[in-house]
Amino acid sequence: MSDIPRHLVCGLLVLFSQQFDPPLLVSAERSKYVLAIGIDGLRTDALDAAKTPNIDALKKNGSYSNTCKILGVRYQKNDTISGPGWTSYLTGVWADKHGVHDNEFGGQRIARYPHFFNLIKQQYPDYKTASFIDWYPIDKYIVSKADVRVGFEAHGSDGYTVFDQYIADRAVKVLAEQNVRATMVYFGSTDETGHRYGFHPSVPQYMRSIEKVDQHVGRLTDAIKSRPTYQQEDWVILISSDHGGEGKGHGSGHQVPTIHNIYLIVSGESAGKGEFQGQVYLVDLVATALKHLEVDFRPEWQLDGKPVGLFPRP
Ligand SMILES: [Zn+2]
């Protein structure tokens, strides 16, 4: 046994201990990277019906659920809107902890339950992080410890369509050229378009906004694949949202499945393939990102989520 290279032993252990198709044996030795993509107000049946080849490819190469919950079992007194949604997405805890119940951010305790970049840097202070946002409150209240920080303030569905393009342009350049371990890219045009025209697969403007964001997603994944060191890297791409929509809104959607169910996609060579078997939650995204980056969880973080969709590692 001692003559067998250690990485091969680890790989064999992986092979026998998990139920998915095994990842390449060498993946345990590659450098880990995470790209988290947030698409505001993305209703699940609209994504299913839209022509989104890039998101479809990520879904095919990963684990996914279209019944991921934006509200916890323990706590769900926050409104089903962007402020609490994005804070849960980015901190990995529910609103009773982070304190954001609406879009005013009054009572927020994000310094106590910070953005996951902050948690990464507690263990790996040298890991670079990058944030690209055009719903300004996220940049103003939630983002911290971002080495590259792009925060636009967009208005209206047309404004968000333009700024989503800027966001993608900036993120593409950084993903291709810099060594950033954790990146968050947010797109807001879907939500603004839903508020203006309606959140539904039958609304052409809403569907076009989803398809446009899919093109941005394709450019982001192309940028990653263009990296000269891509073959030595192990990327996990996460996609989720903060809520769906019904009619032209999504507030008070606690009993409305088209609002409180969202997609969660965990994609990459280190991800299992197929639909999640158990219930997954919005707060699982941060735990999954941290796990992939080999960050040790600290009890004082009080994370509400759990890592999901990744192959177990020995
Ligand atoms: Zn929103």
The pLDDT value recorded for residue 66 is: 98
pTM, whole model, 2 decimals? 0.91
pLDDT of residue 311 exceeding 50, the answer is: yes
pLDDT of residue 3 exceeding 90, the answer is: no
The pLDDT value recorded for residue 6 is: 44
Least confident window among 26-30, 206-210, 277-281: 26-30
For residue 240, what are the β-bridge partners? 38, 264
Cα of 61 to ligand 1 centre, how many Å? Answer: 26
Residue with tokens 């139920």: 19
Domains of the chain, by residue range, sit at 32-301
Cα of 158 to ligand 1 centre, how many Å? Answer: 16
The strand pair at 261-267 and 233-240 is best described as: antiparallel
Q: Give the whole-angstrom CA distance, residue 239 versus residue 64.
A: 9
pLDDT of residue 270 exceeding 90, the answer is: yes
Cα of 192 to ligand 1 centre, how many Å? Answer: 9
Cα of 254 to ligand 1 centre, how many Å? Answer: 14
Cα of 40 to ligand 1 centre, how many Å? Answer: 5
**CA-to-CA separations, 284 to 91, 166, 198, 264, in angstroms, rounded:** 10, 28, 29, 9
Cα of 261 to ligand 1 centre, how many Å? Answer: 13
Confidence of residue 313 (pLDDT cuts 50, 70, 90): low
Q: What is the pLDDT of residues 108-118, one digit of tens each?
A: 999 999 999 99
Cα of 244 to ligand 1 centre, how many Å? Answer: 8
More confident residue, 4 or 92: 92
Coil, helix or strand for 249? strand
The pLDDT value recorded for residue 23 is: 52
Cα of 24 to ligand 1 centre, how many Å? Answer: 37
Residue with tokens 């209206």: 156
Burial 166-183 (b: 16+ CB within 10 A, else e): ebbebbbebbbeeebbbb
More confident residue, 206 or 27: 206
Q: Give the whole-angstrom CA distance, residue 166 versus residue 160.
A: 10
Cα of 38 to ligand 1 centre, how many Å? Answer: 10
Cα of 260 to ligand 1 centre, how many Å? Answer: 11
The pLDDT value recorded for residue 312 is: 82
Residues 127-141, mean pLDDT to the nearest whole number: 98
Cα of 85 to ligand 1 centre, how many Å? Answer: 7
Confidence of residue 216 (pLDDT cuts 50, 70, 90): very high
Q: What is the pLDDT of residues 5-61, one digit of tens each?
A: 444 444 434 333 334 454 554 566 899 999 999 999 999 999 999 999 999 999 999
Two tokens at 83?
Answer: 């402020």
Cα of 277 to ligand 1 centre, how many Å? Answer: 27
Two tokens at 141?
Answer: 């209240």
Q: What is the pLDDT of residues 282-307, one digit of tens each?
A: 999 999 999 999 999 999 999 999 99
Cα of 239 to ligand 1 centre, how many Å? Answer: 14
**HSE, side-chain direction, 13 A CA sphere, residue 30:** 22
Confidence of residue 4 (pLDDT cuts 50, 70, 90): very low
Closest CA to 140 of 166, 116, 89, 104: 104
Residues 261-273, mean pLDDT to the nearest whole number: 98
Helix ranges restricted to H, the chain? 6-17, 44-49, 53-60, 82-91, 95-98, 116-123, 136-137, 156-177, 189-197, 204-225, 257-260, 284-292
To the question of domain 32-301 being in CATH 3.30.70.260, the answer is no
Q: Give the whole-angstrom CA distance, residue 40 versus residue 194.
A: 10
Cα of 187 to ligand 1 centre, how many Å? Answer: 10
Q: Indicate the average pLDDT of the chain.
A: 93
